[in-house]
């Protein structure tokens, strides 16, 4: 059904989309929707947004490795809602053969700030020296403090993403489907009938949010894929903040068994 959803939108190229809205600094809202809910919103969204199309392809595979320290400081900073927090990952764009080291931070207004540099896709399971320097420099530049965590890989995930960009620029919307998490021999997956929708706008109440809310579809808090995945795999002892999202994603069952 996602392929059918994609056909409702006019195409936009990657260069055209980036010229409209790179969205490295933004306010985000996340929704957990059924594919049927998403299809119901297609008519309203297609009047406002175009879909990223690269050589006729509109769904793209992402593979991500997240990094944390032994104490899971990144996870617990998010769990406790701390203003100064970050997530570090490598993200591979499988179809394009590209990979980046990325750090996502929150500024004093709660705005998401993402910084990234390209790296070798074959080395995405570890942070290279350039990646570590990028993380430390980005953290210090925003927070005025050294980055002291000793990072190592803690979880992998894979999903397919569709990206929409507002015709008039300034906003994006992503739709993630087929989400699976794994580490070692532990693996969890989200039903193919569910998607995570993320709206990205300057003020956090953009055009996509209005379309979804008009259909009584509302954001869910604590829907970080990293944090939800860590909890679902039993990698952390506390995850109350993320339970609402985990229930919507069908990941709240058998957590004790996973642990």
What would the 3-class secondary structure string for the chain be?
CHHHHHCCCCEECHHHHHHHCCCCEEEEEEEEEEHHHHHHCHHHHHCCEEEECECCECCEEEEEEEEECCCCHHHHHHHCCCCCCEEEEEEEECCCCEEEEEEEEECCCCCEEEEEEECCHHHCCCCCHHHHHHHHHHHHHHHCCCCCCCCEEEEEEEEEEEEEEECCCCCEEEEEEEEEEEECCEEEECCCCEEEEEEEECCCCCHHHHHHHHCCCCCCCCCCHHHHHHHHCCCCCCCHHHHHHHHHHCCCCCHHHHC
pLDDT of amino acid 252: 83
The gap from C-alpha 149 to its chain's centroid, in whole angstroms, comes to: 22
Burial class for 178, CB neighbours closer than 10 Å (0-12, 13-18, 19+): middle
pLDDT of amino acid 24: 54
pLDDT of amino acid 142: 94
pLDDT of amino acid 163: 95
Residue 229 phi/psi, 5-degree rounding, is: -65, -40
Q: From CA 157, how far away is CA 68, in angstroms rounded?
A: 15
Residue 87 in contact with residue 198, Cβ under 8 Å?
A: no
pLDDT of amino acid 259: 44
pLDDT of amino acid 81: 85
Expressed in angstroms, the distance from the first to the final Cα of the chain is 34
Q: From CA 227, how far away is CA 80, in angstroms rounded?
A: 12
Q: From CA 170, how far away is CA 27, in angstroms rounded?
A: 12
Q: Which two tokens stand for residue 183?
A: 């580490």
Handedness of CA 7, 36, 199, 187 (dihedral sign): negative
Taking the model in full, what pTM does it have? Answer: 0.91
Written as tens digits, the pLDDT of the chain (259 aa) is 788 999 999 999 988 888 875 655 567 899 999 999 999 999 999 999 999 999 999 999 999 999 999 999 999 999 998 888 999 999 999 999 999 999 999 888 778 889 999 999 999 999 999 999 999 999 999 999 999 999 999 999 999 999 999 998 778 999 999 999 999 999 999 999 999 999 988 777 889 999 999 999 999 988 999 999 999 999 999 999 999 999 999 998 755 444 4
pLDDT of amino acid 151: 97
Burial class for 68, CB neighbours closer than 10 Å (0-12, 13-18, 19+): buried
Q: Which CATH number fits domain 2-258: 3.30.70.260, 3.40.190.10, 2.40.320.10, 1.10.3760.10?
A: 2.40.320.10
Nearest partner of 160 among 107, 218, 95, 83, judged by Cα? 95
> Tokens 């750090």 label which residue?
103
**Taking CA 193 as the corner, what is the angle to CA 211 and CA 4, rounded to the nearest 5 degrees?**
65
Q: From CA 129, how far away is CA 138, in angstroms rounded?
A: 14
């Amino acid at each position: 059904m996602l392929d059918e959803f994609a056909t409702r939108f006019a195409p936009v190229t990657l260069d055209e989309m980036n010229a409209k809205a790179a969205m490295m600094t933004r306010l985000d809202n996340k929704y957990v929707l059924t594919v049927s809910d998403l299809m119901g919103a297609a008519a309203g969204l297609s009047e406002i947004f175009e879909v990223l199309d690269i050589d006729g392809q509109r769904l793209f595979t992402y593979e991500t490795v997240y990094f944390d320290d032994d104490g899971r400081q990144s996870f617990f900073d998010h769990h406790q809602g701390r203003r100064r927090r970050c997530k570090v990952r490598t993200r591979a764009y499988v179809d394009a053969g590209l990979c980046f080291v990325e750090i996502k931070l929150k500024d004093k207004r709660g705005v998401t700030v993402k910084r990234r540099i390209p790296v070798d896709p074959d080395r995405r399971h570890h942070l290279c020296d350039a990646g570590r320097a990028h993380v430390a420099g980005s953290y210090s530049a925003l927070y005025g403090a050294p980055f002291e965590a000793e990072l190592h890989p803690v979880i992998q995930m894979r999903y397919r993403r569709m990206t929409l960009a507002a015709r008039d620029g300034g906003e994006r919307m992503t739709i993630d489907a087929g989400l699976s998490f794994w580490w070692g021999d532990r693996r969890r997956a989200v039903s193919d009938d569910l998607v995570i929708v993320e709206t990205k706008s300057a003020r956090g109440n953009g055009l996509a949010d209005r379309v979804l809310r008009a259909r009584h579809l509302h954001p869910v808090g604590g829907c970080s894929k990293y944090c939800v995945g860590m909890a679902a795999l039993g990698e952390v002892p506390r995850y109350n903040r993320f339970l609402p999202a985990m229930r919507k994603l069908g990941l709240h069952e058998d957590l004790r068994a996973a642990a």
